[in-house]
Structure 1
Amino acid sequence: MINQIPGIKHTDTNNFFLMAGPCAIEGEDMALKIAERIINITDRLGIPFIFKGSYRKANRSRVDSFTGIGDEKALKILAKVGHEFGIPTVTDIHESNEAAMAACYVDVLQIPAFLCRQTDLLVAAAKTGKFINIKKGQFLSAGSMSFAVDKVRDSGNSQVILTDRGNTFGYQDLIVDFRGIPEMRSFGVPVVMDCTHSLQQPNQPNGVTGGKPGLIETIAKAAIAVGADGLFIETHPDPLHAKSDGANMLHLESLEQLLEKLVRIRQAL
């Protein structure tokens, strides 16, 4: 199913696919450089690649947090990345009226975890005819995501992807229940593990989300081992100075070595 996304590169290796890129679109040069670096790696390893970048960050702890460089400007950058490199792109939407707008620029619409129960949003996304990546809410069981899938399918769109991003564990931590990956795959959709957001540490006293990027490799290895179809990894050439979610992003220079290990695990399976 994933090979039906426009621009996805077909491989003969039965490999996992990768959604990766910066948390937010910070500028054109940055987006193009990150995309080019990831493409060089994924082409060599035979990994189908979808470039990820948020055109706007709506869910912020503080009113002074970075939200974006402007919707149209960021969406045009996403479209340029897709056109220049011939790859599919994904971005998240937050309200029903954003679905048709974003669909003009990207190949996959992403529903944020906190919004995965919003019926109007799911229906509006489905009606664009695009692939819909729904992130599992931190507050939901894997089994309950079947209803989110049904909302998209019942709206006439069978192109659904589910992404696990961990479960709330107390007020300031998340854990991953890897039983959820095979359970959600039983719905007949590709399942992705978000290896970076699942390591967030939300609700910090300073209003800036923390994270444990040192465990990205652990989460990714376990996800491939239990049968995840894809991985979601936010990456940046300078996470410490990223404008959004830098605390849990993978340094871009660490991506190649990690993917090499994961490909070997996939081949062993």
Structure 2
Amino acid sequence: MSAWLRPAPPPRTDPALTAPQRRALWVEITIVLLITFGLSGLSGLLSLAESLLTPGSLAEQTVALNVPRASHPLLDLARQLLGVVRLLAWGALGLYLLWRSGLGPRAIGFGRPVVRPDVTQGVGLAALIGIPGLALYLAAQAVGANLTVAPSTIDDHWWRLPVLVLWAIANSGAEEILVVAYLLSRLRRLGWGENSSLLASALLRGSYHLYQGFGGGVGNVVMGLVFGRYWQKTNRLWPLVIAHALIDAVAFVGYAALRGRVGWIP
């Protein structure tokens, strides 16, 4: 039986939270999200509002995902790596808090990877999300509902491609640990149903992509629904991290390699 069809793991039988424990857990969630992707979601909303207030359609505006961070190449490299470390630290924070509450990496499907099934399922999920996602982006951009996205405007330094791959890995690790494993686990502990917590996770994922426009927001809500449900049913996080890293790496590196050689790439 495939992992997707396998029944969801039984819910934890932890004792009910007391009122102070519930408040403490909500405070923890709020702080974590304000430090990480919740604040990014609010920033995404403001960016979308600014784009809507700018004369012209959204498609006439361009947003870059990976940009130079300094004028000197080595300083730029150092700042790029600091950004990667920050994302990895966000993911580590989520893992630590879950571990402190009794959910170690193995309990959330992030222990030792099972290479063949994890990679196979990760590639399958990447294709399931990446190909329709590209079509949705092109359609949304064509009707003026999305900004023109430039995955990278980093100059052609010797370190550009390795750094773009590191960004892809850091993005995937931080997002899947915090937005899927951490948030869904915490909401489950608070007594939320699987569907309501899944929707909250997906909406959070969509919110911090709204700077790309409505297409980016909707596409990532769909990705959040698929990825979150996969985790709820299989309790495996590695395939999600692998899939997300592949999607981002193909977008970042492919754009850098094909820009100026393919007509429809801005």
TM > 0.5 = no
Relative to total residues, which structure has the larger strand share, 1 or 2?
A: 1
Q: TM-score range by the shorter chain?
A: under 0.3
Going by fraction, where is helix more abundant, 1 or 2? 2
Which structure is higher in RCO with an 8 Å CA cutoff and minimum separation 6? 2
TM-score (norm 1): 0.23
State TM-score, norm by structure 2: 0.23
